[in-house]
Structure 1
């Protein structure tokens, strides 16, 4: 986990705008392999184990049924599509991937070398070490992005996430940040507009919207 992620992550108990403090027991450079994030307000601690941050809390986040309903079969080209529409060659900063896209996180990180790819998941599973610019976070039931508003340069979802998830991911974007939705459902473009995004390229393979200034 990149140490600086502690500056953009909200405490899952207190919620935004409460940030947390990182304590590293083992690290290499700016990447923490063992340690925890602690909340100075509620004293909650969230472990970092083998580089994976665990923010999961039972009973919080969105329902598992809602998250699984947004899942889609991913073609081998999806990582390339996501990298292209998010313009990863030009920007930098945190790039947030929803849990349904975790399987392409390594490929996206390989394309987005100047970004920190933050991949969410809802399962405590062993994974091989990924690219050096990839941080994985386990969140409750794969739910909402645990980041403060306006802190991410880009984000991606898939399928038909629903208006609430789209709104939450859109809120995580900084001005001009982009949100891509792979294999979007029929109401996705309208939900993106309702979330305050300017839809740039509606398509049946991938739709992208930009956060207004």
Structure 2
């Protein structure tokens, strides 16, 4: 986990207003390898193991299930380029969210866009070791991040109403949200949430989060 992600992580039990306190046991090159995050409000502790943040309360049910991402198979060398282009990451720096199976392309996306840290979120711990430019987070239905912090987002493992709302909440105003695969009616649901739909075809929807345009090449405040 990239050390600066600590400023963005929040308690999944208490909500995005409640930040977490880091207790690092092992670090290397500005990344936390082993440690834990504690919530000063509810006293819940979240483990960091092998660089992966396990942001799921102990009382939560079984991890959420994601579906396979359409058009982004492991053998598709163009998948990272496609994700970066759809999210409009040219010139962007800061945090970028990839939710679901598409997170396996996180390192390649980070390599394509210097200055980007990919936050790869899924419902279960990934296999493999730590990667440059990627912070991996195991999450429940709610994203454990503060509002308006992500410079782009891609939902590749399902997009129910709660996930769409959560993705728009964590995006910097004007940043792009990619839904791939996009269930029928995704465009209409995003419009109802105030987003501007930019692309809607072949099972893919790209929308712009409500608010002012993204100032490219600058990190979000905070």
Interval of TM-score (by shorter of Structure 1 and Structure 2): 0.7 to 0.9
Match of 1:182 in 2: 180
**SS of equivalent residue, structure 1 residue 6:** helix
Match of 2:217 in 1: none
Aligned residues: 207
Match of 2:17 in 1: 17
Q: How many Å separate the matches in 2 of 1:194 and 1:94? A: 26
Query: Which structure 2 residues correspond to residues 58-207 of structure 1 after superposition, within 5 A?
Result: 58=58, 60=60, 64=64, 67-68=65-66, 70-73=67-70, 74-75=72-73, 76=76, 77-130=78-131, 132-140=132-140, 143-158=141-156, 161-204=159-202, 206-207=204-205
Contact 1:159 1:184 in 2 (8 A): no
Contact 1:108 1:117 in 2 (8 A): yes
Give the direction of change, closer, same or farther, for the CA distance of 1:212–1:92 in structure 2 (3 Å limit): same
What's the TM-score once normalised by structure 2's chain length?
A: 0.83
Structure 1, unaligned runs of 5 or more: none
Contact 2:69 2:102 in 1 (8 A): no
**SS of equivalent residue, structure 2 residue 10:** coil
CA RMSD, 1 decimal? 2.2
Give the direction of change, closer, same or farther, for the CA distance of 1:127–1:160 in structure 2 (3 Å limit): closer
Structure 2, unaligned runs of 5 or more: 212-222
What's the TM-score once normalised by structure 1's chain length?
A: 0.87
Query: 1:111: how far off?
Result: 1.9
Structure ranking higher in helix proportion: 1
